[in-house]
Each structure stands twice: as structure tokens, then as C-alpha cells.
Chain A
Amino acid sequence: MRFERKITNRGRRGLVAGAALLVLCPLGLAIASRVLSLGGERPPPLLERPAAEHERCIKDTPYMRFHHMDLLKELRDAGVRGGAKREVSLASCKGCHTSRAQFCDRCHDRVNLTPDCFGCHDYQ
């Protein structure tokens, strides 16, 4: 009985260690990559600027930078579920940000993100 207890404790410790390793691994990798590229901070991605006549977006730049997805989701739900009004949508973005490759993808690629939008909505 005592012998078994010992095995179990060891097993349990192993489990905990394994789980901890699994959780910490990505974190460690991230820190390592950060440390290794120290001093060489990557420049922010270059984005295509809209033409001068479209200087203003529907919200300010800091908001759009961090919350454009929330806004798009809000507009999406209002458009699809809320009824017929679809004046502003993902398609409206194309009016100013004409190229997905030179605008959307620049940041998405940088953070290794594939939004679900473009599989079904055309945005060249």
C-alpha cells in the first residue's frame, strides 16, 4: 500500500510537471524570441494610406487600430440580424482601403492571424 502511494505521488508530480511545461513552453518561446531580437525592434508594418479625400474613418485611428473587429462584428450583426439597413459594412472599407494585401494583411500577417471574413467576403 505504501509502495503504491509512492508511485502515485511520483506520477502525480510528473503530471503536474508535464502540464506546467506544456503551459510554459509557448511563454518561454515568446520570451526567448523577444530576448534574442533585443535591440532589433521590428518596425511597425507599413500600411497603405487612403487617398487625401478620405482622410477620416468612421472612428478615430486608435479605436480602429484595436477595435475594428468589434465594430465590424457590431455592424455585421446589425446588418444580418437587425433588418434591412446595411449602409456600412466590410464592403465600405474597400472605398478607402483599396487593397487588402497592402492594408489588412500587413498587420494580420505580422501577428500571424487569419480572419474568417475573407473566406466568404471578397476583398482584393
Chain B
Amino acid sequence: MNRRNFLTAAGGTILLGGAGAYGMVLIATPAPGGLMSPRPPSTRRWGMVIDLNKCRPDCTKCLQACRTENNVAFHGDKRWDIHWIRKVTVRSKHSQSSLQRTVLLMCNHCDHPPCAQVCPVQATYKRDDGIVLVDHHRCIGCRYCVMSCPYNARYFNFRENPDWPNRDYPKRSHGVAESCNFCAHLIDRGELPACVTTCQRIGVGAIAVGDLNDPQSEVSRLIDESAPKRIREDLGTEPKVYYVGL
């Protein structure tokens, strides 16, 4: 056995072993009320369905949960506040009715994310499972992603975050960009994102997250049943956050 063969064999063993161990972990994880998909991790495609008919106009539980879980900075100044989720009310521009509608806005985790396209250091990238996130170790703070996001869903840390509620999760230094990452650290552990958990806990259940590639998942079922809309589908970015009742 020459050196090259040996290396190949060794590498193969390690890879196989790793994959095997990983599979074990996945199968072994019981997730009551959690997040499961029968598909292997790299072929999943996480998506979200928000039912605006269920969402209560005056409730901000998911926003608080997100802020606490992910240490999202709030300075009390509109210029620099960061909102991984934000709640807006919209009204028709043309009809005379004053019907207001509440909409949760966040990173749409586009299949063709303009932010990842323009990032000069590939700090913003799309994972194999469709989550768009920022590698804050690499971000140089050029803010090109903030410029190119058509949803205003990306934010820049203009100043240091004074709060650090969740010590198990890192915060961000000033000078880097960030946005919602579907709580990737929780999803990877087989748990639901903080906003979804909270919304379920208070008995509203307006937000669902699941594997769009899995026809049996809750999100796939909701999409089939209620033909939800996405924001600015015409832009061709293929967002993965769906809205029922928009």
C-alpha cells in the first residue's frame, strides 16, 4: 500500500465513520413537538409558513423570544435597532377602507439570495438546507448585503449590543451585518426556532417551520392547503417564508 492509497483509505474510513455516527445521532434524537425530517440534512430545505389570520395584532411574544434567544440588539433608536423579525401593519393604498393587517417580516431565506451574491468575502452564504446566514467571523462590514436586500431584512451592528441575555449563544460585535438565521443552532439540534416555540406555547401557533422538500411536513401540508403568498415573488428571489392570508 503506497502512501496515496493509504491516505485515501484512511480518509474514506473517517468520512464513512463520521457519516455513520451522524446518522446514529439523527435517528436517536427523539423530538416530541420538535423538528424532524426523514431526509438527510443536506437535502432538506427549511421553510416557514406564517398564518396571518391567527397572528394577533397586539402580540409581540415571538419578537421578544427572538431577541432573547439570539441576543438581537435593541438600542431604542430606530436608526440602529436590529429586528430579526419585525411586525408591521399595512393598509391598502387605494381602497377607502381602513382595514389594517399585521405582517411579520423577516429574512426570507431566498433560494437566490441577493445578499449572498454580493458578499465580497462569502460571509453571507446559503447552506445546503437553504438557510441563509452570516459567518460573523468573516464579515468585514461593507454593508453591501444591507444595500441589496429587497426586503429590508438585513441589519448592520452600528454599535455594540449592551445586552447579552442568552449567554449560551454568541452576540455580535459592532461592525458586522446580521439577519434572521431560522435559529440554525436550534434547528441543527432538532429543535424549533424560538419564535415558533413561543407562538405554540402561548397557544396561537401561527408560525410553522419545516422541510419543504418533505411532502409530509407541516409546512408542505399548509402550502398545499391554503396556497399562501410570498412577499415580492416577482423579484425572482424565491423566498421561503410563506404567508397565509396576506
Residues of A at the B interface (CB closer than 8 Å) are 76, 80-81, 83-86, 91, 116, 119-122
Contact = CB atoms under 8 A, between A and B. Distances in A.
Contacts, number: 28
Contact of B168 (A76, A83, A122): A122
Interface in B79-130: 125, 127-128
A120 B136 contact: yes
Nearest to B169: A122
Interface string B9-42: 0000000001000100000000000000000011
B172 A120 contact: yes
Interface of B: 18, 22, 41-42, 125, 127-128, 135-137, 164, 167-168, 170-173, 185, 188
B173 A120 contact: yes
A91 B185 CA distance: 14
Given A81-B125, A91-B168, A120-B171, 15 more contacts: A80-B135, A80-B137, A83-B41, A83-B42, A83-B128, A84-B188, A86-B185, A86-B188, A120-B136, A120-B170, A120-B172, A120-B173, A122-B164, A122-B167, A122-B168
A119 B164 contact: no
Nearest to A86: B188
Nearest to A85: B22
A86 B128 CA distance: 16
A83 B129 CA distance: 9
Given A86-B188, A120-B171, A81 B136 contact: no
B102 to A, nearest CB: 33
A93 to B, nearest CB: 14
